[in-house]
Every structure is written in C-alpha cells, then in structure tokens.
C-alpha cells in the first residue's frame, strides 16, 4: 500500500474512532440521571476514553510521520541547493510519501531546466577554449594550474599540465615575471630547456595569471578542456572561532588519522589527512596528506584496513613533524571529523609522548550531528552516512580520502542544521549533546568527547 494511502486511511480510522468515542460519551450523558445504570456508565466512560486516547495517539503518529517527510523534503532541497546535484535524487532517497515525491518531481523539473541552460552556456564556452589553436593555461597565485586546453597540453610533455598540479612542473620559475615586475614576456622556458613563445596576463584582484602559448599543430588529443577554477578561491580570513560564530562562517579543519590500532593510549599514528573548510565550502587544495613513522611495527590486521605497511613508512617523518604540519594547516579552526573523538584522543596521546603541548580545540563530530538529525538511521559509519546524504566516497580508509568525505558530509548537513535553528557553533555543540548513546559508548572507549 502506498504511504499516502496509508496516511489518509489512518486519518479516516482516527475520525471514525473519535466519532465512536463521542457517541459513547453522548450515551453517558443520557444515562447520567439513571442511578441503576452505574455499571453501564462506567463501561461507557472506560470504552470512550480508551477509543479517544487510541485515536489521538494514532493521529499524532501519522501527523508526526507526515511532518518528518515534509522536513526531509525541505532538507532534500537544501542539499541540492548547496551542492548543485539533482533535487529528486535526494528526495527519492529521503522521502517516503509518494505525493511529496510527486511535488519534488515538479520542483526538480523546474530546477533541472535552469541547470540545463547554465550547462549549455558552460559547454559552449568550454568548446570555444578547447578549439583555440593557441595554448591557454590559467594559473592561481600559488602556481597551481586551474585550466589547460589541448593546444597547451601539446606544448609540454604528457601530463605535465593538469588542474591541481604546479605549473612549474612544465616551466621554470625564472621565466615568469614577478609581481613587482610588470614587464611582459615574449617567451617562457620549459623545464627541458626550450624557449616557447608566450604572453602572460594578470587576473588582477581575482588572483593568478593567464599564459597564452604558441602551440604546435595537432589533432586536439583525447581531452577537450580540463579545469578546476575553484582553485582560485582563497581561504577567507577569519578570527578564532567562538561559540557565537555562525556555522555559515565557521573555519574548519577536517582531520582523519590512520593508526596501528584502535587504542588511543597505546597505538600510534601512521598517516594524517586534513582538509580546510569554511562554512559550506570545501577547499580541497588546502590539504595535508602525510605518512608518519610510528616507530613500531604496523600490525598486519591494520595494514589490511588502511593499506599502509612497514616499508611505506620507512624514512617517513616522525610524529613531531606530523603534528607541526597539522598545526600549520589548522590555524584557528574548529576540528571536524567523523568519529573525531578517536583522532583527538590519539593526537593528544602522541603530543604527550613527544613532549609537545596539547590544548583541546573546539570540535564537531559529524557522526553525532547525524545521529540527532536522522535518529532512524540504523548505522552511523562513514560509508552508510555518506550514502544517505549522497556523498561520493573515494579513497576510503586513507587519511586524506576519509577527511575529504567527512568534509563533504559536514558542508552538506550545515543547511539542514540551520533549518532546525542550529545557527552557531554553540548551537551545534549543544545539538551534538543530544546524541547521548553514541557519546557514552565512545567515552567508554577512551575517546575524547566534548
């Protein structure tokens, strides 16, 4: 039976039950003046009260379920708006009532039409840049390639230029004009010693520059255009977070540690991954991915999970270097993660081992947040939660891979938290306090639970 059919049939049952209870009470009023019918009056009172109470309870259950579906429908729209995915994908996964799903389909068709127009414009611009006979390379102010077309790719060795890589893997630093030297260049020097005719233009306040190259002729290659223009987005500066800091402006560092085991006071870290966030944005290029020498043998059972063996960490830096690298990228940020209590506990233990000071930072656990947001979820492991919210999981059980997944998860649930009135860091900390069962279990394992 369809959910909305069950809903309306249930409401009819409630109305009929309430009418029956009212009839019993009416009979009671008629019998009130008949002393000889005391037993019958008691029966009427008991039966009417039972029916009315049952009908009220059943109606409240139905309404509560319907309101939950409406809340999930609103959440589906917020998720789609925050990430640019199809609204209906989320609604099909999260909403049970088919009438609300039908409404979601109508809204989705309108949103999809607008998105199709936007993508058509983007495809045309992409096609134009890809077809240019001259090479085009866009570079961030830190030297990361954010866009490269086929002609530029033919100019340099295979895969020397791709989004997210350093442009200085293809050209020498000396051939690029410095910020204090605005004179144009006539060529750039490739790392293999060739002088390539080029023109360089600054992107101004947007940060970075564009390099136009005289490229050799070719058939265009397998790719049309590769780009990740989000690499130009710099992390916003922000003061140290306080409980009054809005979630939409929250500076975050999402952290994950791979370890030799699951006992924070005994086991050691073998890898640290971290990525910066700000509000609902993930800055994937601001990340840390480092192997750590644990100075002990890595158990085979742990290697099976994260793939890191003793040979891989041979010659890797020690934990002191790893902690310093994490502190550098973290700055004044709230530490975020899935089951972050374990990572904080083992980071604190490692700090004590090497004599480094440790102060417990503000932290938010995505597992705790989801436990309160979606109390009906049967499991809260990262894979299951990411599936529920439509987060693509890559590099599972690698430190950076898990950190990126948790970062995407957090930025997607922020709008859902705001929709429930959870607007600030202090609100979110109080909200996680409602995940009592999960927090109690983790505290018993020796994890840090804020």
CATH at 198: 3.30.450.20
Give the span between the Cα atoms of 77 and 65, in whole angstroms: 19
Residue 440 is assigned to a structural domain of this protein? yes
The verdict on 259 and 227 lying in the same domain is no
Residue 323 is assigned to a structural domain of this protein? yes
Least confident of 116-120, 360-364, 408-412: 116-120
The verdict on 183 and 261 lying in the same domain is no
The verdict on 70 and 202 lying in the same domain is no
Whether 5 has a pLDDT exceeding 50, the answer reads: no
Helical H segments across 32-161, by residue range = 38-83, 87-94, 98-131, 150-155
The verdict on 164 and 313 lying in the same domain is no
The closest alpha carbon to 175, from 132, 129, 213, belongs to 213
According to the per-residue pLDDT averaged within each range, which of 73-82, 147-156, 166-175, 379-388 is highest? 379-388
The verdict on 191 and 332 lying in the same domain is no
The verdict on 360 and 389 lying in the same domain is yes
Residue 239 is assigned to a structural domain of this protein? no
Least confident of 115-129, 215-229, 243-257: 215-229
Q: List the domain range (segments joined by +) for residue 178.
A: 132-232
Whether 421 has a pLDDT exceeding 90, the answer reads: yes
Indicate whether this model's pTM tops 0.75: no
Residue 449 is assigned to a structural domain of this protein? no
Residue 238 is assigned to a structural domain of this protein? no
The verdict on 218 and 257 lying in the same domain is no
Domain boundary among 208, 232, 256: 232
Domain boundary among 58, 83, 114: 114
Among residues of the chain, what percentage have pLDDT more than 70? 72
Whether 285 has a pLDDT exceeding 50, the answer reads: yes
Report the number of distinct structural domains present in the chain: 3
The verdict on 322 and 380 lying in the same domain is yes
The verdict on 399 and 264 lying in the same domain is yes
Which has more confidence, 155 or 395?
Answer: 155
Determine the average pLDDT of the residues in 144-165: 81
The verdict on 270 and 377 lying in the same domain is yes
Q: pLDDT value at position 1?
A: 43
Label residue 396 left, alpha or beta by phi (over 0 means left) and psi (-120 to 50 means alpha). beta
Least confident of 150-154, 325-329, 446-450: 150-154
- Tens-digit pLDDT profile for residues 173-209: 877 776 545 556 678 888 888 899 998 888 877 678 8
The verdict on 99 and 136 lying in the same domain is no
The closest alpha carbon to 394, from 409, 374, 380, 412, belongs to 409
Domain boundary among 232, 266, 287: 232
Domain CATH code at residue 298 = 3.30.420.10
Residue 163 is assigned to a structural domain of this protein? yes
Residue 119 is assigned to a structural domain of this protein? no
For the beta sheet containing 195-202, the strands, ordered from the edge strand earlier in sequence to the opposite edge, are: 187-189, 195-202, 209-213, 135-139, 145-149, 225-227
Least confident of 128-137, 397-406, 430-439: 128-137
The verdict on 70 and 159 lying in the same domain is no
Q: pLDDT value at position 3?
A: 47
Exposed/middle/buried for 270, CB within 10 Å: 0-12, 13-18, 19+?
Answer: buried
């Amino acid at each position: 039976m369809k959910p909305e059919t069950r809903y309306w049939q249930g409401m009819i049952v409630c109305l009929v039950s309430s009418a029956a209870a009212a009839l019993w009470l009416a009979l009671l009023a008629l019998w009130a003046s008949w002393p000889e019918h005391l037993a019958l009056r008691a029966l009427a009172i008991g039966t009417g009260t039972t029916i009315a109470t049952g009908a009220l309870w059943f109606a409240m259950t139905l309404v509560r379920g319907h309101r939950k579906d409406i809340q999930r429908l609103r959440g589906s729209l917020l998720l789609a708006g925050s990430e640019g995915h199809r609204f209906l994908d989320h609604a099909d996964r999260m909403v049970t009532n088919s009438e609300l799903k039908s409404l979601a389909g109508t809204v989705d068709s309108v949103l999809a039409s607008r998105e199709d127009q936007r993508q058509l414009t983007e495809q045309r611009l992409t096609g134009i840049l890809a077809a240019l006979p001259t090479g085009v390379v866009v570079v961030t102010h830190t030297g990361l390639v954010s866009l490269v077309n086929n002609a530029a790719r033919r100019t340099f060795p295979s895969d020397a230029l791709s989004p997210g890589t350093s442009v200085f893997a293809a050209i020498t630093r000396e051939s690029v004009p410095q910020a204090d030297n605005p004179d144009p260049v006539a060529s750039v020097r490739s790392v293999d010693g060739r002088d390539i005719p080029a023109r360089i233009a600054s992107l101004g306040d947007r940060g970075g520059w564009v390099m136009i190259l005289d490229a050799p002729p070719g058939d265009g290659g397998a790719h049309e255009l590769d780009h990740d223009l989000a690499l130009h987005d710099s992390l916003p500066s922000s003061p140290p977070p306080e409980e009054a800091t809005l979630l939409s402006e929250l500076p975050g560092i999402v952290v994950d540690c791979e370890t030799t085991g699951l006992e924070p006071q005994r086991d050691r870290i073998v890898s640290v991954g971290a990525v910066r966030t700000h509000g609902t944005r993930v800055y994937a290029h601001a990340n840390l991915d480092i192997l750590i020498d644990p100075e002990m043998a890595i158990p085979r059972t742990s290697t099976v999970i994260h793939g890191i063996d003793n040979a891989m960490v041979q010659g890797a830096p020690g934990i002191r270097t790893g902690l310093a690298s994490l502190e550098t990228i973290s700055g004044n940020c709230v530490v975020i993660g899935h089951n972050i209590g374990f990572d904080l506990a083992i980071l604190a233990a490692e700090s004590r081992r090497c004599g480094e000071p440790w102060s417990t930072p503000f932290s938010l656990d995505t597992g705790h947040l989801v436990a309160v947001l979606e109390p009906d979820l049967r499991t809260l492991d990262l894979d299951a939660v990411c599936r529920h919210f439509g987060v693509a999981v890559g590099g599972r059980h690698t430190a950076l891979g898990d950190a990126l997944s948790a970062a995407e998860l957090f930025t997607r649930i922020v709008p859902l938290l705001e929709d429930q009135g959870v607007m600030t860091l202090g609100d979110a900390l109080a909200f996680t306090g409602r995940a009592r069962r999960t927090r109690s279990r983790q505290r018993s394992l020796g994890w840090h639970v804020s």
